[in-house]
Structure 1
Amino acid sequence: MPLLILLSFATFVTGIGALGVVGVMTPLSRDLGLSPVGAGWVMSAYAIAYALGSPLLTSTTGQFDRRPVLVSGMAAFAIGAALAALATSPLALYGGRVVMALGAGLFAPAAAAVAIASVAPERRGKALSMVYGGLTVSQVVGIPAGSYLSYLFGWTILFWGVTVAGLAMAAALAVLTPRGIKVAPATLTDLAAVLTDPRLAVAVLLTATAMGSAWTAYTFLAPIIEVKTGGGPELVGLLLGVYGLGSVAGNMLGGFLTDRVGPERALIFATIIPVPLVAILTLFPWNVAVGGVLLFAWAAAGWAFAIAQQSRLVMLDPARTQVLLALSAACIYVGSSIGSTLGGIAMSYGGVPALGVATLAMGLVGIAHLALTLKLGGRPAA
């Protein structure tokens, strides 16, 4: 349990660093002269680097002890945050985000594998929800606070804070993580085997389509709130906090549903329910109270997805746990890259209403993909 709490705190730091830019997009874009498409690439650069780097890094370090892997990943993440804080141009910012992504892509799958290895199979959902609880709590505390402070003191404060916290967590992991934790080893052969197994490949890619739908709107959540309410930084921070509370609830809900009704039924809930909610958020007018309810519900339903998806992938092929988790995490960022880019294009051409149409279209793709992977189902091919 203490190890899971430590991993949760470390995941909290990576969550602020990865997602905190959502709350500072307006001042960051103003200072660096970013267009909507350029702003989308702040997330896309991170996403692409994570998607390409995480499976390869996990496979090439799969035989190593987990402690140095966790420490190295967190340290690289902190260094990338420092580079982003020092950026004076979009290209430099994108470079810092790439280094951050590679560090997180090494850390996150190792953390998930350690969490799964430390509990009985029937408690995997709870263990994963505890570790990834740090990611959701970062949206309640870190992202709104980072947004508010960045409006007051500049967006670089976000990255400097992540740098300090990341180095502190790397030190804590070095001291407190036990040696010799037993997890299923990962190799490049395992990576190739997963990618060439149709059922496993389709199952993993569900993460990308589901996340693509979520990130189309989520990347521009602060501007959506500004347009719908006409509010300033305080109101934006408040409603981002409401969304964050919903994400915490969704993380716990995902663990509960996975352990109680199974990962496949939990996936059905978490893939379908967010689609009509985000359509209402983007296509219809709402006041602060209604928007708060919608944001909470959207976050709760959507954030239930990750735990159910990871648990199902491990169930399909336990021997390739690390590779499957790395690929699933990578697909989060494939989806976020697609969603961020699509959202930037939609915002450029038609503002928030066009963003809503694009999000709805991606949501329907995710539902169709869910139907396909459940139909294929079963055990992976031998």
Structure 2
Amino acid sequence: MASMSLYAPPYSSCNRDLVSLPRGDISAATFKSSFFGSKVPVKPLSFFDRNTQKRRPKTFITASTHNFDVVIIGAGIVGLTIARQFLIGSDLSVAVVDKAIPCSGATGAGQGYIWMVHKSPESDTWDLTMRSHKLWAMLAENIRYQGSNPLEVLGWKKTGSLLVSRTLEESERLKRRVKQLSKAGLRAEYLSSHDLQLVEPALEVGECGGAAFLPDDCQLDAQRTVAFIEKTNRQFASKGRYAEFYHDPVMSLLRSPSNGVVKAVRTSKNTLYSKKAIIVAAGCWSGSLMHDLFIESDTALNVPVKPRKGYLLVLENFTSLKLNHGVMEAGYVDHYGAGKRVTNSASGLVDHGENLSVSMTATMDSMGNLVLGKILTSLFILKSQFHLWKRGDRSVCQ
């Protein structure tokens, strides 16, 4: 392997689209949603500028050509955990390359749900989802066995999840979902409107509403989890088995002139040769990345994976409302349906033809902040859901 000098900078904040309600002595606002039972005083919205976040310094490389057993494209949670498994489960050397840094993409924008409540036992990915859920639980238990607190290390919380309905039609669908999940081996139960009020007093769903409840669902903190995985991976750097190439976008793939097999990844700064495998773990950008990498070849690739837009509303140090569980509106499940129709219900509008929809999730993060998530396709839709205007000397958000 060619000589190199690697800098392992400290972990930085996630880079994601969110709306932040910071602390400070500023005028009060009112947030009102049918998702919660009453008006809640909050602070005025201010948009979080991703460009103001601290960024880790670039990795310093003194040579341009390197050899590894495995090269992984993508430093999200999937890419980093794949690297971790190779490092602790074999003697292979691993390189992770990314155009930015961990938590700059979908990993950083996610709410860390380890949930089964919105999954379908009939889907092609059910077995993979079940295995993922079990592996995360095993990791948390292993950390506890080693004398550490999974809450501190991963932000791990076994809160359980609630898939909430507000109409009779949605409630009937949730009852059927509970039966399916129970038959598939999960602990699941349906909560009536009255029972839901007992376990989650902050929710108001009406007499026709209810919830599917999965007590074993969990959540974690993306920043803490990535920091833990990176720390483990970097322990192998001194042995020459691990290297990170961040802020180094992949430009092309190099093929063997004799048999056409892909043998290396060429980035903007380096050429990374692989002896065993090149793994693409670019998440929802894998489709466009592979299209670009193979555009000059005769290979036609169709990777039907595309990113979707979402926003998070973070209410920092919020004491007026607390949630005991992770909460998701029933309309969220429409994102996992295969139907190409337009659905209009109390929980949102879904235009499957244009991937247009609005639905909400809510949870308390590891710092005690209330995090509201919305799946949207544009900022216009966000504004249409949270109308801001002035009333006297205060802002009002509804």
Q: What's the TM-score once normalised by structure 2's chain length?
A: 0.22
- Choose between structure 1 and 2: higher helix proportion: 1
Q: Which has the larger radius of gyration?
A: 2
Q: What's the TM-score once normalised by structure 1's chain length?
A: 0.23
- Choose between structure 1 and 2: higher strand proportion: 2
